[in-house]
Structure 1
Amino acid sequence: MRTISRLSAAPPVPALMVQGVSSNAGKSLLTAALCRLLTRRGLKTAPFKAQNMALNSFVTDDGKEMARAQALQAAACGLSADVRMNPVLLKPTSHTGAQIIVMGEPVGQMRVREYHLYKTKAWRAVRKAYKSLCVGKDVMVLEGAGSPAEINLKAHDIVNMRMARLADARVLLVADIDRGGAFAALVGTMSLLGRADRARVAGYVLNKFRGDATLLTSAFTAVSSRTRRPFLGVIPMLKDLHLPEEDSVSFKLGITPGLFTSTGPDKTCPPQTLDIAVTDLPHISNFTDLDALRAEHGVRVRILRRAEDFGVPHAVILPGSKNTVADMRFLQKTGLAEAICRFSKQDNATVVGICGGLQMLGQRIDDPLCIEDGGRAAGLGLLPLRTRLREVKQLRRVAGRMLETVAGTALSVEGYEIRHGQSEPISRRKKHDRMAPVMEDTAGRVLGWGRLEPDGRARVWGAYLHGLFDADAFRHAFLNSLREKACFAPQTGCVYSLGPELDRLADVVEQNLNMLSVYSLLGV
């Protein structure tokens, strides 16, 4: 039975909300798991997160931008991604500023104080989106952001308890026990919440646990006695779970199991293993472009933070960036720019740039309108391209093909564009600057360029398409082209699909969370 009276303004749809005691507590994946379980139960379910701050974004079928996490949760429900599931997206471009995206469209670059003044408009968009999304649904699963107990942010809250009140949602409070301090964080969070908000918390979930859960009994008793809330589940640490991360916290820490390792050149790969180094940019975005690569057997994807850790990789990838000029300066300052250029001259080297990474491969990047931080930076100079950031943002789903200049055969790819940058070839004066298209869409529009070698293949190339490595045939051909250079045996590769991984996640949550209590909270 629902124990909290429904607000008259709230849509009459049962709602459950997942909040955390901190960022990176595992809220997004737990929300995805609950969406999957409720959908498998035959309920029409939809996810919702009022405001997300993330650099991993996704483009919907109608060309709107939203957080990648809510797109994954939509897939868990068997739904297409819909911007109403994430009406407000903040994409940080610096420590104090972010691009604000409302209902899939950028509305401006704002600093914190400016955005606080804008919150009234943002909240109206949130309320309208939630009310519309609820139509025809049996249940809603909401996700909070950070912690609901950040007392300096309570006055401006539109994503945690204020949203829970609007939806009349019961709350599961999640803590990451792997990082330590979980029990203190749960007690502290409850003590900082107001009485009405505490009443919404139905129970606790411990996430990312390693070991024997029976050893936690005394802690459960102490915390439940103090806060009068039960523990509803202990979710084990899942190894090699190939699902997109919401933000770059785990990437930056280098601790995500089975994902990236901060190994340097002194720690060699196992035999017949490809070593792919990825530059860890301060403003890295859409690093989920690499998920399909890390899911492959015989491939190690590692973070590259310092020039001295460069080693001898088989390929270097420059991922996307939300502040390309600043990140290009970072590469120059750290010596990574010089190391990449030196590496590109080796006979078997491969250097790839995706979106912002493509821009960095060029000669120059200009941001005269201060779309990001503003200014100008020299690129790596590996491709005769110049890039200018323009006011209108390119957002669209794309189907196209990678030409034979990359992997030896033309292969279909699909994904999405998210960019302000417009890159144009510079007239080439040097005979060895043999640049040519490497990717085009179905209309023949060029989306990537490469520098051709005498054998007609591109050793340095880049493309504007996010998600291009998700295409199994292209990814396998690309990796086997690297193996060929390294004199490794070719491999067939894996099939990259989120469906089985979502089911695996849901199965584990179902086994370790008191789902009877969850269903009771929802009245289903």
Structure 2
Amino acid sequence: MNSDTRTAPLACAPRTPALMVQGTCSNAGKSILAAAFCRIFLQDGLRVAPFKAQNMALNSCVTPDGLEMGRAQAVQAAACRLDPDVRMNPVLLKPCSDVGSQVIVMGRPVGVMRVRQYVDYKPQARDAAFATYDSLAAEHDVMVIEGAGSPAEINLKAHDIVNMAMARHAGARVLLVGDIDRGGVFAALVGTMELLEGWERDHVAGYLLNKFRGDASLLDPALDFMQQRTGRPVLGVVPYLRDLGLPEEDSVTFKEGLPGLRDGVAAEGGSEEPGTGPGSLPDILLDIVLVDLPHISNFTDVDALRGEPDVRLRVARTPADLPAPDGRMPDAVILPGSKNTTGDLRTLRASGMADALARLASDPDGPVVAGICAGLQMLGLCVADPLGLEGGGSEQGLGLLPVRTELAAEKTLRRTTGVHPRSGLPVAGYEIRHGITVAAEGGEGGGTGPGRGGAAFPFLLREDGGPLGWGTHGGRVWGTSLHGVFDADGFRRHFLDGLRTRRGLAPLGRVVASYSLDPALDRLADAVRAAVDMDAIYDMLHLRPGRV
């Protein structure tokens, strides 16, 4: 490839100017950069909306009208100060095994499909994606579109609906993003361009280098080479942005360790208790452990905890990971959501984590054990799957809560508000589940764990008075179906102050950290604006700030 392959005029002008962020690989930072451009355009006075034709992710949310969409597009909607709209992510794939996914179209599940089944279904998914894009784009001045994976995956291009096929439909100008932190970024960019067809290269307007550490001026020779070799400029070098305070899209980063943590110790974003010095840091941080699961979903439920100054949040994959480096047991253990509850239950049992959690729950001085959605179901006596949604049969739970769950055909999708009865504090979030969980008859425990901690009591209540979660052992073991339960500042601080009291620390007694994405999105936009040639981007879109 040489400079003769400079951008040619597109066949037709886009109906609505569209900037598309594609990448050389997964986890290059497409979602975060798309959110940044959404906020920049909003700051500049434009009506902007996000779009991703097809998202494969286990983090999702519920729209105001009770439909399910990817969490990343909900964050991008927040960057535009819009409510989540299922048109922003018309096709969502939620993997439930290595070879199959639940396929959600326009916010509703249409079935669980293996790869070849979904390929056959793709024309219908494409039609839905293109039609909803047209509907959404007609209402806005500019669109920010996110691709998926890499546009150069030649085994997938024949039935692509999310990368260059989407760019062609929208007439989008594409920024190709490379992750310079992982190395080989220039080979990845040039190689991607080499594997694109001519019409696909015509859509590529330039490159962004993401996650750069160091002096960007040292890159000048390489940037000049990229212009000469491919005829496209590098339009920005975005620094490695730490502790953004924004949800991760999928589990790639999570599996490598929670952002902002190194070896279980608070990193640059961590802070000590007010009035204490660095020397006392290990003694005053509350130690909260999130249990990893093979099919973990909605792990963003713990994001709000990461922003608290007295919290250290870390991941445990085996029983050996549960104690802190100093040997102390954690103050709380959280079982998150899962897209395959019965399969992950079997994993917990095989790894020894089920027995370890049972021992912790049986110790009166042990940690709080909490479960969210599938985590609640796992803490119970059993999970029945009469319809075969996860393979069929019945799986014994951990026996830590006297409740039973049955997986139902109809998926519950709703935004929910409620209250924590013991404190009177409000909570709010959303429910995404197939399971129907009820207190066991008599409220007695059983199974393999100490479920005999007494009758289950409603830990959270919906506005209508119905149970939104259950607790036992005096509230030391509890679970809820409410995603986002920790997002409410008052309830989160109440939970943490309870842990502090159990630890012998004085409660802070007040909200010290407000969980809001808006300031984080402004910080992100400021950093990306400073690193990117926005004048060039406005020129390529034939836009000017504040007007079309």
Which band: TM-score by shorter chain? over 0.9
SS of 1:505's partner is helix
Work out the CA distance in 2 between the residues paired with 1:75 and 1:432.
42
What is the 5 A alignment of 1:37-116? Answer: 37-116=40-119
Aligned partners of 2:8 and 2:202 also within 8 Å: no
Q: 1:241-298: per-residue Cα shift (whole Å, max 9, x none)?
A: 11011101000111x541575579xxx9712100001101010000010000011111
Partner of 1:410: 424
Q: CA deviation at 1:367?
A: 1.7
> Residue 418 of structure 1 aligns to which amino acid in structure 2?
I
Q: What is the SS of the residue equivalent to 1:271?
A: helix
CA distance in structure 2 between the partners assigned to 1:397 and 1:15 by the alignment: 31
1:122 aligns with 2:125: yes
The CA distance in 2 between the partners of 1:245 and 1:397, in whole Å, is 21
Q: Is the 8 A contact 1:210 1:236 kept in 2?
A: yes
1:509 aligned partner, one-letter code: V
Aligned to 2:440, which of 402, 406, 426?
Answer: 426
Deviates more, 1:436-445 or 1:214-223: 214-223
Find the aligned partners of 1:78 and 1:199 in 2 and give their Cα distance: 32
| Counterpart mapping for 1:284-323 below 5 A | 284-311=296-323, 312-323=329-340
- Aligned equivalent of 1:258: 260
The Cα of 1:459 is off from its aligned counterpart by 0.5
Shift of 1:487: 1.0
- Determine helix, strand or coil for the equivalent of 2:436: strand
- Which residue is 1:144 aligned to? 147
Q: Answer yes or no: is the 8 Å Cα contact 1:272–1:489 preserved in 2.
A: no
Partner residue in 1 for 2:472: 451
Task: Give the Cα separation in 1 of the matches to 2:187 and 2:348.
Answer: 40
| TM norm structure 1 | 0.94
The alignment status of 1:376 with 2:394, answered yes or no, reads yes
SS in 2 for 1:125: helix
* Displacement of 1:309: 1.6
| Equivalent-residue separation in structure 1 for 2:137 and 2:476 (angstroms) | 50
The farther-off stretch of 424-433 and 105-114 is 424-433
Distance 1:301 1:257 in 2: 10
1:5-62 superposed Cα distances (whole Å, 9 cap, x missing partner):
3548x6x101110000000000001000000000111111011000000000010000
- What's 1:15 paired with? 18
SS of 2:437's partner is: strand
After superposition, the Cα gap between the structure-2 partners of 1:131 and 1:260, relative to the gap in structure 1 and judged at 3 Å, is farther
- For the 8 Å contact 1:32–1:76, the answer to whether it is kept is yes
Please tell me whether residue 487 in structure 1 is matched to residue 501 in structure 2: no
Q: Secondary structure at the match of 2:238?
A: strand
Structure 1 residue 372 displacement after superposition: 2.9
Flag structure 1 segments of 5+ consecutive residues without an equivalent.
Answer: none
* Equivalent residue for 1:469, pick from 486, 490, 512: 486
Q: Name the residue aligned to 1:273.
A: 285
Counterpart check, 1:237 vs 2:237: no
1:340 pairs with one of 333, 352, 357: 357
User: How far did 1:129 drift?
Assistant: 0.3
How far apart are the structure 2 equivalents of 1:489 and 1:202? Answer: 57
1:331 lines up with 2:348 in the alignment: yes
Query: What amino acid does structure 2 have at the position aligned with 1:342?
Result: R
Kindly, what percent of the aligned residue pairs are identical? 57
Equivalent residue of 1:383, what SS?
Answer: coil
Question: Aligned partners of 1:374, 1:215: CA distance in 2, in Å?
Answer: 58
* Off by >6 Å, runs of 4+ in structure 1: none
Structure 1 counterpart of 2:4? none
Compute the displacement of 1:369 (Å).
1.6
8 Å CA contact retained: 1:274, 1:314: yes
CA distance in 1, matches of 2:153, 2:376: 38
Deviation at 1:339, TM superposition (A): 0.7
- Cα distance in 1 for partners of 2:43, 2:235 equals 21
- Name 1:357's counterpart in structure 2: 375
2:194 aligned with 1:177, yes or no? no
Aligned equivalent of 1:516:
535
Q: Could you list the runs of 5+ residues in structure 2 that have no partner in the other structure?
A: 1-6, 267-279, 324-328, 446-451, 544-548
Deviations 1:357-390 (A, max 9, x none): 0000001112222223434321110011111111
Please identify, of 233-242 and 423-432, the stretch whose mean Cα deviation from structure 2 is larger.
423-432
Using the TM superposition, name which of 150-159 and 433-442 deviates more. 433-442
2:186 equivalent to 1:167: no
Q: Which residue of 2 aligns with 1:283?
A: 295
User: What is the one-letter code of the residue matched to 2:463?
Assistant: T
Compute the RMSD of aligned alpha carbons: 1.7
CA displacement at 1:225 relative to structure 2: 2.1
* CA–CA separation in structure 1 for the residues paired with 2:465 and 2:49: 37
Q: Which residue matches 1:4?
A: 9
Structure-2 separation of matches of 1:471 and 1:260: 27
Q: CA separation in 1, counterparts of 2:456 and 2:521?
A: 41
Instruction: Normalising by structure 2, report the TM-score.
Output: 0.90
